[in-house]
Amino acid sequence: MKKKLMISARLLAFIPIFILLIGCNKETEGSLSDTLLVSEELPWSQRLANSFILRHPGNVTYDEYMTSASWNYQQGVILEGLRQVYELTGNDIYFDFIKGNINQYVTEEGKIKTYPFKDFNLDKINTGKQLLFLYDKTKELKYKIASDTLRKQITLQPRTENGGFWHKKIYPYQMWLDGLYMAEPFYIRHIKMFDENKNYDDVILQFVTAYEKTVDEKTGLLYHAWNENKEQRWADPVTGRSPHFWGRAIGWYLMAIVDVLDYLPEDDSRRESLISILSDVSESLLKVRDEESGLWYQILDGGNRDGNYLEASCATMFTYAFAKGANKGYLNKDYLNIAKESFNSIIKYHVLVDDNGFIDLLHTCGGAGLGGDPYRDASFEYYISEPQRTNDFKGYGPLIFSAVELEKANLL
């Protein structure tokens, strides 16, 4: 009851926005409904996107229980969802939200406020994709200048001996699967837009290195991270790998592959190596899919071990990778049906629609890392102890991505 009252109170603040959204878009193809913006008559992608926009007046990407107001990767995840809905519908409301949000961080001179360059944190790169998107659409120089700053970080990013990016400066000699999504889609698009030599070698190197260092030969699944010098307590003393298959880590990696392939030239022979990795890991994921629900556990091979649970964000990410992979021809078309089944299971097990039509995504792990202070030991007990959140962007954004891809295939 408390939750419903809170949402109802929020809606009072949204009334002016509601009127604005209706009034300015009646002539726009794919415009928001003029009756109820989160009406079930709308496609899922728009219901999800509209729920988010109405809950975040002022074009902000944070709230009282989510991430901070600083430049961060979760912001980039949700904005990417809105970008995809914009590209699908042509509705300027989604574009305006992205631009309004980014303009709160990027000055007219192209400086990114609250962005700590010297941290060399790959997470801070992810939102840069929206800088490239806005520059491509508007040609406003500030977006290019800001994106060039992120590109400079990549150039100077500390690396392992064979060239793999450290996840952050504070995590030396460590590659995390998360980092592939954070950096590579931005990196390759920046190269394609602005670099004269169009050399994609370094992008490919990151994927191949991460795969070779984290893949389990027996299951085909990928461990969360690799520590080159094996100094971390969580690192296997022989392989340097962390000890568990965390669902979302693999989700980040697969989403990065399908997004990077958008920009890797068709005649680049290395496309096949990425597609092969995508196919092999996807097949491995089907083997650890829960038969009853059609979903995946927080620790993928942990089944219903005490404390393990069906986690939402890995399911949304896998569904997106399967659907886009099949739509693009990287995966067998059977994966479209698998993606549809998974999406429907997400709706059944992880989604609630409140009395106002707003969509809530449940059971998303708030976050899971390695090392640090207090120390995260990568144990099974650690992963299942991280709090679960509702409407966490890391699950909600990829749920939008998934809906968009399935709608492209006319399956939703």
- Which residues are tagged catalytic? 178
Q: Tell me if 276 sits within 8 A of 282, measured CB to CB.
A: no
List Cβ neighbours of 340 (8 Å cut-off, separation of 6 or more): 323, 406, 411, 412
Q: What letter represents residue 328's amino acid? A: K
For residues 184 and 255, is the Cβ–Cβ distance under 8 A?
A: no
**Kindly report the CA angle at 251 between 112 and 103, in degrees rounded to 5?**
20
**Residues 99 and 134: beta-carbon distance below 8 Å:** yes
Please state, in angstroms and rounded to a whole number, the distance separating the CA atoms of residues 14 and 108: 29
How far, in Å, CA of 399 to CA of 403, rounded? 6
Structure tokens at 368: 């899971």
Q: Which H or E run includes 174?
A: strand 174-176
Give Cβ neighbours of residue 280 (< 8 Å, ≥ 6 apart).
Answer: 220
Q: Is the peptide bond prior to 374 cis by the omega test (within 30 degrees of 0)?
A: yes
172 closest CA partner among 97, 88, 235: 235
Distance in angstroms (rounded) separating the CA atoms of residues 166 and 179: 9
Cβ distance 83 to 70 under 8 Å?
Answer: no
30: left (phi over 0), alpha (psi -120 to 50) or beta: left
Residue 304 has a CB neighbour count (10 Å cut-off) of 11
Q: By three-state DSSP, how is residue 361 classified?
A: strand
- The tokens 């070779």 sit on which residue? 212
Element (H, E) at 351: strand 351-353
What does the angle CA 40 – CA 41 – CA 42 come to, to the nearest 5 degrees? 90
